[in-house]
Amino acid sequence: MPSSATSDLMDLLESVLECRVMGLIVRDTVGVLLRTGETSIMIPEYSIVSRDVAVSIFTDRPISPSTEELNRIKKLLNIYVYSPTDSATSRVVASAKILENITGQRSLDKVLHQLVSSLILNGDFRRAGIMFLNEALLELRGVIYCNESMKIDVTAFRNTKLIFKSKNILSDIMFYDRTEIVQADTIEGFDNFEKYFCGNMLVTGLGVGKKPIGVLIVCKDDYSKADTEAVKLYGNICSLSIEFFRTRKQLELVQTQLEDMKKTNSNKENLLKMGSLSATVAHELKNPLVAIGGFAKRMEQTEISPQAQNYLKIIQSEIVRLEKIVKDILSYSRRMEIDKQKVNLKELLDEVMVILRNCLCFGLINVVVKISDELYVYVDRDKFMQVLMNLITNSVQEMQDGGDVIIDAKVSKKHITLTITDTGGGIPSDVMEKIFEPFFTKKRNGTGLGLPLCKKIMLAHGGDIFVSDSGKGAVFTLVLPV
């Protein structure tokens, strides 16, 4: 198992168990497949069996996972411990394309359309369909279907439903997250679906978190172990895509509610509640992102075509961008803890410039720093550096054709004022009014949380941040207490 995948697996386990994972040992019937981290007998150990491997998880404290947590851990192990086989290369490439669409934020309908098409085209199945559960009405209803002629049905199939009059094999597959071969004639009420599926079906459950949401059904003459693994993989991708798009809708709702609350001057308590909701939603989004990113890294280690490698790079690029959104939301939502220390401002700026020059193009940018070598400030070094890097990066990105960035500082009896001025053309007045509001951005790939987070950091220091227009560009003013 590659070290990057191992690291991702440990990160995911920590997220599920809410503790620090110190080490892992994975064994099969032959011997040890993986040993990583600290695995001393002095460290609390929890063992779990998933398929034909036994896993020992070493944690910083004793744990007792719930049934839900155990099921999630088993899913992770199934993804990370087993590599795709050579016979499944076309399925891997197809799944990479589907993951690209998920991270590229195409619509859920388009992702499901591509998923059932790929099962026919790349998965060697003759029929494939997705059905969603209406838990209130106790019925499965068709969502999308594809036959061996690659004909997609989203109309008639959606008008077809299966009502659960009693517990059956399909309900067991959904509620216990199983993948099994099912005989259609054993399911009461399945007559409506006879024209869509064969008598011998391979079915896997779909779920979001611990909640079952439906089934993925495929058909062919006979099924191999590789077919079962492929359907499990596509089922996991389907579940992740549904969770991803639902979470994104929740984030959009949170953003809309935050904007409405700002407009109506809602009280501080409600804003805090919304911030907490944003953090919860971001946390829910984190797991599927890490799972998709980890799977892409696993696929990178297999023998696949240059086209597939290109898809993997796209996936990983989109994952990095989405993970930054999640990171920004979590950073903004958390309570700000400040650890002030005496810092030489000139030396801190020099360090920031060294870091940024390795990341940004300063070729046409003239940076002028007018700060005394003897000027000290009392700040949380890392958080204040984050503010400086954000503001300077914004200035550089606004001057694609070159310009000046001037950094100056003034000291009074009560305050130290630091200004960062650029010649990037300035900021429109309507944008300036909203520039520190959460989720407000004019950048195509922006999160809208960079400057609000800067504001939060400055307020936590007992200072503030302001923006103005010099006529030639933007002026950001940082105010710190002496």
Amino acid at residue number 253? L
Q: Which helix (H) or strand (E) holds 475?
A: strand 474-481
Q: Dihedrals φ, ψ of 195, to 5°?
A: -75, -15
First vs last C-alpha separation in the chain: 53
Predicted local confidence at residue 72, as pLDDT: 77
Are 370 and 442 in a shared domain? yes
Are 325 and 388 in a shared domain? no
Are 38 and 138 in a shared domain? no
Amino acid at residue number 48? I
Structural domain of 457? 341-481
Predicted local confidence at residue 381, as pLDDT: 92
Dihedral (CA of 117, 119, 123, 125) sign: negative
Are 68 and 185 in a shared domain? no
Predicted local confidence at residue 359, as pLDDT: 59
What is the CB-side half-sphere exposure of residue 423 using CA atoms within 13 A?
11
Whole-number CA gyration radius for the chain:
27
The CATH number that applies at residue 297 is 3.30.450.40
Q: Are 289 and 319 in contact (CB under 8 A)?
A: yes
Predicted local confidence at residue 294, as pLDDT: 66
Total domains present in the chain: 3
Are 203 and 76 in a shared domain? no
Q: What distance in Å separates the CA atoms of residue 344 and residue 415, rounded to the nearest whole number?
A: 16
- Residue 18 gets which letter from DSSP? T
The CATH number that applies at residue 447 is 3.30.565.10
Are 41 and 111 in a shared domain? no
Strand 127-134 versus strand 53-59 pairing type: unpaired
Take residue 169 and report the two structure tokens written for it: 């094999």
| Full-model pTM | 0.42
Are 257 and 125 in a shared domain? yes
From 64, 80, 96, the end of a domain falls on 80
Q: What distance in Å separates the CA atoms of residue 443 and residue 186, rounded to the nearest whole number?
A: 55
Q: Are 390 and 359 in contact (CB under 8 A)?
A: no
The 8 Å CB, 24+ separation contacts for 136-144 are 137/163, 138/163, 138/164, 139/163, 139/164, 140/164, 140/170, 140/214, 140/215, 142/193, 142/196, 143/112, 143/214, 144/109, 144/112, 144/113, 144/116
- Judged by phi (left if over 0) then psi (alpha if -120 to 50, else beta), residue 54 lies in beta
Are 55 and 171 in a shared domain? no
Are 346 and 400 in a shared domain? yes
pLDDT tens for the 482 residues of the chain, in order: 445 557 767 877 887 888 999 998 887 666 777 788 998 888 999 988 776 677 899 999 999 988 878 877 877 776 555 444 444 444 444 555 555 555 555 678 888 888 888 888 777 789 999 999 998 888 999 999 999 888 888 889 998 899 888 888 999 999 888 899 999 888 888 888 888 999 899 999 998 877 899 999 999 988 988 888 888 888 888 887 787 777 777 777 777 777 766 655 544 554 455 555 555 555 556 666 666 666 666 666 666 667 767 766 767 666 666 666 666 666 666 677 889 999 999 999 998 888 887 656 666 788 899 999 999 999 999 899 989 998 998 888 888 788 899 999 999 988 999 999 999 888 888 888 888 887 777 776 666 778 888 998 999 999 999 999 888 899 999 999 98
Are 91 and 222 in a shared domain? yes
From 41, 64, 80, the end of a domain falls on 80
Are 303 and 425 in a shared domain? no
Are 297 and 419 in a shared domain? no
Q: Which residues pair with 140 in a beta bridge?
A: 133, 162
Q: What strands, in cross-sheet order, belong to the sheet with 415-422?
A: 365-370, 403-411, 415-422, 474-481, 464-469
From 52, 80, 108, the end of a domain falls on 80
